[in-house]
Amino acid sequence: MSVKDKNIVIGICGGIAAYKITYLVRSLVKSSAHVQVIMTPEAKAFVTPLTFATLSKNPVYADYFDPNTGVWHNHVDLGLHADLLLIAPATANTLSKMAHGGCDNLLLATYLSAKCPVMFAPAMDLDMWSHPSTQDNVSRLQGFGNILIAPTSGELASGLSGEGRLAEPEDIFEAISTFFHDALPLKGKKALVTAGPTHETIDPVRFIGNHSSGKMGFAIAEVLQQLGAEVMLVSGPTALKTPEKVQRHNVTTAQEMLTQVEQHFEDADIVVMSAAVADYTPVEVASKKIKKKDEVFTIALRKTTDILATLGAKKLAKQTLVGFALETDNELENAKGKLARKNLDYIVLNSMQDQGAGFAVDTNKVTIIGKDLHTIELPLKSKKEIAKDICDIIADHQLAKGEQS
């Protein structure tokens, strides 16, 4: 879901439709959104703060200061760290204050200081909704850039029937989900990611391989998809589950990986080569299992095609090409040399000297080096967090390319 990990502040006003927001909060939390509820003093007469606290798994804010806990609820922080502020149900009274700068409660103070996008879903009787002053306020709010989730027609609390009914929770959820999807920085972009090891066959039961688990590449594929990209993942042998909505091609050898990557390279805007591809492969593959008989056994090896250098040589102007380097000595110098030789936009340096980094673990510590040699050192984090940092840099690079074209 596109609401996953989003910080959503929901402001609830004093109207009978407040009960519908319980269903919305529950749906958002089930979809892994982080929900913070703010209630106007009047809203507490319709649904208790305890209900929303239980559903959102967060304390509910209704006043600037909580005398029981001594906690000051900072409206600036609430609006600053949110990805979206939704005001629903938005009463005629609150709409008027929003439109004209009124600020007599915590919700309105949060609205006036919010740096994030704002949605509002009105709910009121049909005559109140159709009144020219209400319609002027709605138009004024839309002129500010706020997003209207229009009320629907139906039975109203007054017993009348007409326009003014709060949009259904599932429709509000869909509006929020669509908003985040449309706002994704990599929407419309195609990404190609490689991950995992390659296995170079010696005989029917043996191979040359490495300790790569594929976790870093799979995390990058997942994050790129969450940022809106259409992702093709080419994976060597690994038992990892394919990230949601990511297309996957399984390969075994370096040659198979090269073949798959070349098929998709030209269409890709973003290429992240995180796979640990074998540098050498056996010259001959035995058709039967090689028996153990000699004290010393020698296998003739030949170089595999350097996939990253091959791609770098034909990189297109639209593309962001990212490589990985795992080093044990002269790490920074070796990574910078690889960056230049292979015509990369970025290289991600892993050091085998860092505890908790490298193969087969859930954490990593990397240094990201740009084509201009600008260096970003990231501390030890989960591979998912490292993936987010890398993908944010990729998204910024793609945005800059779009502005230049």
Contacting residues for 295 by C-beta, under 8 A, at least 6 apart: none
| Residue 69: predicted pLDDT | 66
At residue 388, what is the residue type? K
Structure confidence at residue 155 (pLDDT): 87
Closest CA to 26 of 35, 17, 18: 35
Domain 7-182 shares a fold with domain 190-404: yes
Enumerate residues 6+ apart whose C-beta is below 8 A from 211: 197, 359, 360
Residue among 3, 43, 44 at smallest CA distance from 24: 3
Exposed/middle/buried for residue 338 (C-beta within 10 Å: 0-12, 13-18, 19+):
buried
Q: What is the pLDDT of residue 70?
A: 59
Give residues with Cβ within 8 angstroms of 101, minimum separation 6: 112
Give the per-residue pLDDT at 67. Answer: 64
Q: How many angstroms separate the CA atoms of 97 and 108, rounded?
A: 8
Q: In one letter, which amino acid is 215?
A: K
Report pLDDT for 160.
85
DSSP per-residue codes, 166-214:
PPPHHHHHHHHHHHHHHT-TTTT-EEEEEESB--EEEETTEEE-----S
**Could you list the active site residues?**
210
Residue 219, phi then psi, degrees to nearest 5: -65, -40
Which CATH architecture best describes the domain 190-404?
3-Layer(aba) Sandwich (3.40)
The answer to whether 367 touches 334, Cβ cutoff 8 Å, is no
d(CA 163, CA 367): 57
Q: Which residues are annotated as a binding site for CTP?
A: 279, 289, 324, 338, 342
Indicate the annotated binding residues: 279, 289, 324, 338, 342
pLDDT tens, position by position, 118-141 = 999 999 999 999 999 999 999 999
User: How many angstroms separate the CA atoms of 221 and 270, rounded?
Assistant: 11
Instruction: Evaluate the CA torsion angle 180, 182, 186, 187 in order and state its sign.
Output: positive
Tokens of 200: 């170079």
Spell out, as residue ranges, where the chain has pLDDT lower than 70.
1, 65, 67-76, 79, 356-360, 405
Q: Rounded distance, CA 103 to CA 97, Å?
A: 7
For domain 7-182, which CATH number applies: 1.20.1250.20, 3.20.130.10, 3.40.50.1950, 3.40.190.10? Answer: 3.40.50.1950
Looking at residue 278, what DSSP letter applies? -
**Residues forming a β-bridge with 122:** 90
- pTM for the whole thing? 0.70
Q: Which residue has the tokens 């959503």?
A: 8
Classified as helix, coil or strand, 397 is helix
pLDDT at position 168: 96
Structure confidence by residue, pLDDT tens digits, 160-217: 889 999 999 999 999 999 898 888 899 999 999 999 999 999 999 999 999 999 999 9
**Would you list the domain boundaries of the chain?**
7-182, 190-404
According to the model, what pLDDT value does residue 270 have? 98
Cβ(38)–Cβ(48) below 8 Å: no
Query: Which of 332, 355, 335, 352 lies closest to 344, judged by CA?
Result: 335
